[in-house]
Structure 1
C-alpha cells in the first residue's frame, strides 16, 4: 500500500533517540498511519514526516505529540 497523504510537523523539546521513539510510537498508534520519520534536531524543532493512505487528522497528531510529552512548533502542513 502506498502512502498518498503526507503531513509535516515540527516538534519542540526532542533531544535524543528516546524522544524520537516516544513521538514515533504515539503518532504510529493513530489509525491509518503508515509511517513516521523523524529528523532529530536537539535544541531546536525536529522535523517529523507522517505518511498515510488516508487523510491525516492534524488534531490527532497534535494530541499524540502532547501525549508523548512534547509540543508542536507552529501549525501542521
Structure 2
C-alpha cells in the first residue's frame, strides 16, 4: 500500500507537470477500472493490489488539484512549454 501511494504521488506530480489538471478524467477511468477488475479477480493478492491501486488513482484526482496550487505557490516547478 505504501509503494502504491508513493508511486501515485510521483504520477500526480508528473501528470500535473506534463498534462495539467485535465488528466483527472484519466485518473478516474483507471481508478474505477482497477476497482472493478479487483472485484472479479479470484486471487486475493491480485484483487487487493488492484483495489489499492484503484483507490490510489481516485485519491490522485484530489491531489492533482492540490498540486496545481502547490505549483502556484512555487513549491514545484511549472512547465513553461505546456499550453494552458
State the TM-score, normalized to the length of structure 1.
Answer: 0.30
Structure scoring higher RCO (CA < 8 A, sep ≥ 6) equals: 1
Relative to its length, the structure with more strand (as a share) is 1
State the TM-score, normalized to the length of structure 2.
Answer: 0.28
When Rg is computed on C-alpha atoms for both structures, the one with the higher figure is 2
